[in-house]
Structure 1
């Protein structure tokens, strides 16, 4: 009985620690993805609640495959959210807020993108053109 209570309490503590984090993990960075944005955004404490918007655009034909936002402050009480765009889009707008007045924020933002058409077309060799069958003419 005692072992079951310990296991349940440990599982509950792990769940509670996950629920309090405001980190965002959207999408996955595949081997074809490349990092198009990586920066630590930091705001100093002020007499008002600090808010900022960051707009990240994917270059050329690329689409965003992953957005990772990590709160680097000790208590992880800053707010980060996706305002528009995101995974599968050409751009993403990220909103950052400090938790209260006289508090700042510190977030690490990483955005990955890949070209959805890259690698699907090759120059020269086309095996489907080599082994064609033609109708017989009599």
Structure 2
């Protein structure tokens, strides 16, 4: 029991220290619509940036993944507007303090709302024109 409690406390401490964002999930039909590493050099002020990502055509966002790539993982990333299920997302990035920069990897995935899977086990929408085989 003590071992389980120790592992749980280590897990919770590691989760609290990380400012990574994991929203939604990457489905097999999803494709990456944005993937870039954003980096800011140290300055005499706190570095802040807003990243606006819009989906093309009929797609909606299915997943937003933001990973802090610095060793100390003390940069701040947050969703300002939009997100999963919408056509755009605005991600805010902040350095932890003055004379510090940040380095984040941002990945956004989307899928087409009109795309349907017509295979065995997949989703096929119901249509009123259904013909049934005759049995003699």
TM-score for both structures, normalised by structure 2: 0.85
Distance 1:119 1:11 in 2: 41
Aligned-residue Cα RMSD (Å) equals 2.1
Q: Which residue of 68, 73, 78 maps to 2:70? A: 73
Distance 1:129 1:20 in 2: 56
TM-score for both structures, normalised by structure 1: 0.84
Cα deviations by residue, 1:10-60 (Å, 9 ceiling, x for unpaired):
221111111110000000010010000000000000000000000000000
1:120 to partner: Cα distance: 6.2
Distance 1:10 1:64 in 2: 35
1:131 to partner: Cα distance: 3.2
Distance 2:76 2:17 in 1: 11
1:6 to partner: Cα distance: 3.5
**What residue in structure 2 maps to residue 27 of structure 1?**
24
**Which has more radius of gyration?**
1
Cα deviations by residue, 1:58-77 (Å, 9 ceiling, x for unpaired):
00000000000000000100
1:107 to partner: Cα distance: 0.2
1:41-52 equivalence runs, <5 A: 41-52=38-49
Aligned length: 126
Higher helix share: 1
What stretches of structure 1 of length at least 5 have no aligned partner?
133-138
